[in-house]
Each structure stands twice: as structure tokens, then as C-alpha cells.
Amino acid sequence: MDGMSGPYLIRGSVSLPEAELMWRFSRSSGPGGQHVNTSDSQVELRFDLARTEALPEVWKQRALERLGGRLVDGVLTVRASEHRSQWRNRETAAVRLAALLAEATAPPPKPRRPTRIPRGINERRLREKKQRSDTKRGRSGRDWG
């Protein structure tokens, strides 16, 4: 298994630009015995969203707006340390980054058009409401004494 498993698609034909991904590896905390002390299995993947040329301009603006709180100087960082192997953590980090960008660049949802409630249905609802309230009023023992 050499090289990454192909380009990570964001949406349509746009994928994560391999050349613009910055990887950093460090020791992961958590289980793993003596081996974990010597292997850099935690992965930090950084992607310079502000300067990238790989995304269409509209997508880039959308992503910068939506991920504003997560960016440091326009750079998006994703960490992965669930797995004991660096390879699987790299996969996880790349997939996570692609998913984040896919969500952040998605077009805004279409505005909801309010639907009209047919008059008959509304009148029936009001009639039933009135009936219900009369039933409940009848239960209070005021008039009985």
C-alpha cells in the first residue's frame, strides 16, 4: 500500500489538492504500549483555505465565512489520533478535511416558500377547538351545586 488512496473528492470534480496539504506528525496519547512512545502516529493536517487556488472562488468565500471560527490565519487544521497506525490516521484526517470543506462549500438551501392552509381545513380546526373547549368547560363543577 504505497501513496494515498487517490484524491479526496470534496464535491463534483473538485478534490483536495495534494500539493497544498501540510502534514505534521506527533506522538499520540492513549493506549499502545511501549511502541506508542516512539512512533508519531498522531496526524495534523493543515490546509491554507485563504490562499488556495484549488477551489472555485464562490466556494472559497463560502467556506471562509462558514469556517471562520475554526481558521487560524486562513488555515484550516484537522487532527486525527484515533488509530494506532499513522497511515490510518492520515486517511481519517484527509477524509475529515474533505467532509468539512464539502459541508462548508455547499450552496445555501433554497428559501422555504410558505404554503397556504386551505380555508376548509382551518375552519374545521377552529370548530374542533371550540367543541373541545366546550367539553372541557362542561367538566368544571361550577354549575352543579
Q: In the predicted model, what is the mean pLDDT of residues 11-18? A: 72
In the predicted model, is pLDDT for residue 111 greater than 80?
A: yes
In the predicted model, is pLDDT for residue 145 greater than 70?
A: no
In the predicted model, is pLDDT for residue 137 greater than 80?
A: yes
pTM summary value: 0.60
pLDDT at position 4 is 47
Cβ–Cβ < 8 Å for 92, 1: no
- Residue 105: CB atoms within 10 Å: 21
Amino acid symbol at 16: L
Q: b vs e for 29-61, b when ≥16 Cβ sit within 10 Å of the residue's Cβ?
A: eeeeeeebeeeebbbbbbbebeebebbeeebbe
Handedness of CA 115, 116, 120, 125 (dihedral sign): positive
Q: What mean pLDDT is reported for the chain?
A: 80
Using 50, 70 and 90 to split pLDDT, how confident is the model at 70?
A: confident
Q: What is the pLDDT of residues 44-60, one digit of tens each?
A: 888 887 777 777 888 88
Q: Can you name the residues that pair with 45 across neighbouring β-strands?
A: 23, 78
